[in-house]
Structure 1
């Protein structure tokens, strides 16, 4: 019987447009996403560099763009957060709830500004703890990221459901014994949790 649910954030609660940021950067002059930008992203996502260093790093590839334009383009991926998902989350009082997200300080700041202080506070208060990669210095699918959460909360993986939209994160969690739901954001919604549990888990 599942007693804990570990949620991802992007495309589970907040909707993402994964083409929006590449398209916005392209308009600023970026020819293509490249390994150097990928490395820069991972450094920022694990808190190894600050926002200014990250944005200046992107600016090297789009020299004519202003920093505020780059930041706006970076945040373009973040879309709406349907209220019914928050309301559903608030109904899950029978479970221990945790959040584990690969994200950066810029995106979280933008999310909180976009939805407002009250909404963000209500969302965060649903969880025993929220884990953001830029805060903890590690990211999924690294198994040590999951082990940190397991150890901090004395979790039993076989009684914990991990929900994520990325296959590599799901596979890593499965190897540690988690129950998983590889949520497809184009055809499924986190509010269908109970239907999913009925179909797949005791």
Structure 2
């Protein structure tokens, strides 16, 4: 596994070592010991999630204000543009974002630590998205920052308005959001 840093300290692109031949491929998608060696962080995952979305579906920007979740995300079919936003008020990077394409072909993963908002838009016909979380889903603590908040200026790769859930349409501006200390 190789680790690449992003513009946001703590948000990491993970590229697994892939073994392939005419039969197909194999790779280890997560190894707790190796992750700790490379990042200095020991993480424990308690929940795995799987979603499938059509082209132009945008999900996010989600986070839990309590029971904050670290997320290790990847795509097993299709492609998404994945975004993390620093929502830690005390961070010098507060309100900044980073984005990366994740696909079944590039096999990249993104580590998003607790304290960040997360979202993605599907850029292929469909995408299947897997993610591990470090804490359980707690709907009473779930929050959503508006995906197109001008203060964030996220450059989503969109040619038309995205398809959003009611929850994502009701997201709030960062200026009005409950954020981390």
- Same fold (TM > 0.5): no
The structure with the greater share of residues assigned to strand is 2
Q: Rg bigger for which structure?
A: 1
The structure with the greater share of residues assigned to helix is 1
Query: What TM-score do the two structures reach when normalised by structure 2?
Result: 0.26
